[in-house]
Structure 1
Amino acid sequence: MYQDILIPTDGSDGTRQSITHGLTIADRFDATIHALSIVPEGPLGTLQTDEAIPAAERAVERVETEATREGVDAVTAVEQGVPHEEILAYVDEHGIDMIVMGTQGRTGLDRVLVGSVTERVVRMADVPIVTVRLTDDLRIEDADEAERIARKTAEQEGYSEISVREDPHRTSASWIVPLETDSGPVHVHVDALTSEARLASGTETT
């Protein structure tokens, strides 16, 4: 029934639940996930900053990582433009059967933008849309706390001489903490909702 499912993502907290729902649906129907992140541009000018494109790339790579872990095929794309227009254009160009997206960001501008984009897509799209409301509260909002958990996890796995290679960053409610250890570089993914942590390879870029 569904072969290609689109998950628009900006890496904000509000996209976490939509990623989970999208992957569940894709696994059920043996579908391909399309992760799309958009660097917004509009009539008032671009919202792009030097960090905007790398952040968008990390957002879609995060979905790809989650999809790979679940055994779901994934395609990623980063576009620039008016968000709802780019989403609808992607749907048409790639034969998308379903869209799964969040209804809100967490606060401020993020909340306004995500909600506004979703409203427009729901009104204008010709394919089924699953909207997911953010309900979970973050437990870890501080990079220092994420670093502490990451160090402890690495120590429990037998690593020593642990130092932080880069500042932790967060996408889709998970902290990514790059560490240097006696055995080489590793990444620790810390779930900001559950505080659970897992080790990934040192070359992972999410």
Structure 2
Amino acid sequence: MYQHVLIPTDGSDGTRRSIEHGLAIADRFDATVHGLSVVPEGPLGTFEANEATPAAHRAVERVELEANAAGVDVVTAVEQGVPHEEILDYVDEHDIDAIVMGTQGRTGLDRVLMGSVTERIVRMADVPVVTVRLNQELRIEDPDEAERLARDALEADGYDGDATVAEDPHRTSASWIVPFDTDDERVHVHVDAVTRETRVASPNRSRNRNR
């Protein structure tokens, strides 16, 4: 029934459950998940373009990590343009069968944008659209706590104690991403802000742990 499921994401907390639902649908029908983030431009575009592009890449990284953990085929893309137009173009170009997206964006301007984008996609898309709201309480809102849990997970996963935090922790899709530099590579530890589950992501491996 579904071969290609699209999950548009801006990395806001509200996209956490849309990722869960999209992966569940893809797993049920043995479909490929497409994670898409759009860096906005135009009259409704972001005023923080320098921050928006890395945030978009972090957002699709989260989709990829969850898809890999679930054993679901995944494709990710970051585009630039008017969000609802880019999403609809992607649907046409990649034969998307269904769209799963959140209804809550970030605070301020992006929150308005996300709600507006979802509304337009619901009205204009020619394929089924599933909208999902975040209704789970975040248990980790302190970046220092996220860093502590991430370091515990890193050490438990076999990395040595010389790993250093490469950047401040940042939250995407209700999960913290804590980047570490080790002797051999850059490693990202994802800490779920709802479940406290941690996952170490590197080019060579990805493992789940609970804290």
Q: TM-score, normalised by structure 1?
A: 0.88
Paired with 2:98 and 2:122, the residues of 1 have a C-alpha distance of 11
Q: Residues 184 and 94 (structure 1 numbering): CA distance in 2 closer, same or farther, change over 3 Å? A: closer
The residue type paired with residue 142 of structure 1 is D
- Paired residue for 2:92? 92
The residue type paired with residue 192 of structure 1 is A
User: Which deviations, in whole Å up to 9, do the C-alpha atoms of 1:50-89 show, x marking residues without a partner?
Assistant: 1221211121122112111111111111111111111111
User: Which deviations, in whole Å up to 9, do the C-alpha atoms of 1:99-153 show, x marking residues without a partner?
Assistant: 0001112533332211111011101111111110111121212211111222233
Residues 21-36 of structure 1: pairs in structure 2 closer than 5 A: 21-36=21-36
- Residue identity (%): 74
Deviation larger for 47-56 or 88-97: 47-56
Deviation larger for 85-94 or 47-56: 47-56
3-state DSSP of counterpart to 1:42: coil
3-state DSSP of counterpart to 1:118: helix
Task: Please give the root-mean-square deviation of Cα atoms over the aligned residues, in Å.
Answer: 2.3
- Paired residue for 1:11? 11
- Paired residue for 1:20? 20
Deviation larger for 59-68 or 25-34: 59-68
3-state DSSP of counterpart to 1:50: helix
Question: Would you say the 8 A contact 1:6–1:36 is kept in 2?
Answer: yes
Question: Would you say the 8 A contact 2:175–2:190 is kept in 1?
Answer: yes
Q: Residues 92 and 181 (structure 1 numbering): CA distance in 2 closer, same or farther, change over 3 Å? A: closer
Q: Residues 97 and 202 (structure 1 numbering): CA distance in 2 closer, same or farther, change over 3 Å? A: closer
Deviation of the 1:199 alpha carbon: 2.7
- Paired residue for 1:77? 77
Question: Would you say the 8 A contact 1:39–1:48 is kept in 2?
Answer: no
Question: Would you say the 8 A contact 1:41–1:81 is kept in 2?
Answer: yes
Q: Residues 26 and 163 (structure 1 numbering): CA distance in 2 closer, same or farther, change over 3 Å? A: same
Residues 138-149 of structure 1: pairs in structure 2 closer than 5 A: 138-149=138-149
Q: TM-score, normalised by structure 2?
A: 0.86
Deviation larger for 156-165 or 56-65: 156-165
- Paired residue for 1:2? 2
Paired with 1:155 and 1:3, the residues of 2 have a C-alpha distance of 39
- Find out whether 1:191 has 2:192 as its counterpart: yes
The residue type paired with residue 153 of structure 1 is A
Q: Residues 118 and 45 (structure 1 numbering): CA distance in 2 closer, same or farther, change over 3 Å? A: closer
Provide the aligned length of Structure 1 versus Structure 2: 204
Structure 2 unaligned blocks of 5 or more: 206-211
